[in-house]
Structure 1
């Protein structure tokens, strides 16, 4: 099997974690992970707390082009892991194999998603990621329009309004000038 990103490199046996085998590319540090082996590992493993924060995460290794599965040569589908991070995982639905670009396993661990990998590939997860990304874009747009300080206050007020029982009355009051 050849690396779907490098295309010429032969994948070699590797370990993402103790007890979690994968096929790794020595050139780009990517890994082909069988979700069958992953599920077995996830049932037994406990991971320590993440060392990185989301501010330190980078998605520059993420392959932007569609990749072909090293096993069956079908096009792999890309799945976003979070709205705040541009990292996308590649999944072959035919072989049930995921391609992790170099550094993506560390990103999953830092976001505490390393033991939730199958959930990332669900429609429900992907809807939530799109909603999160949309909200981040709205806040970014508001920040450009009104400035950082006012946008931050608006976000705080929005959170407060969402949690108060008198939301409708307060919004009505605010709409009358």
Structure 2
């Protein structure tokens, strides 16, 4: 069975472009996979703690404990169960939301999601990822990725995920063109899923 893990990170719980695009993606994904399962992780609704020295020490020493380990294990299990991962990422201050960074800090764990026995090898292979990036300005290089896509690609590759699709929505600060830009992103999603 196909399982999609949806990861939201917009601090806007209403009127969020990334959440709206995520809803559209999930609707189209369900049409393609009517028996598929959807898992949800919302880093804004359920705040994820920032990494601490105690947690890092517990990552590397099984005799140590951190109160963040059960959450880390649960989120890694969600990733492991999923065949596809959908990440909605708005740009805040030229980077990814801090809550999404905290998420990745807790799931990037040696012997759990990657190993470096003979160079770095991601352990979450054979999965697809989809990135919906939303920015007020236009930051893409012609023919290239925008900064959010580049950052998330490095992280996903580290985890072993190489099959990545990109659905940018840029220029949301210009309302006069927003309808056309939103439609263009929806068309990209539709064509990919059908």
Query: Is TM > 0.5 for Structure 1 vs Structure 2?
Result: no
**Normalised-by-shorter TM-score class:** under 0.3
Q: TM-score, normalised by structure 1?
A: 0.27
Q: Rg bigger for which structure?
A: 1
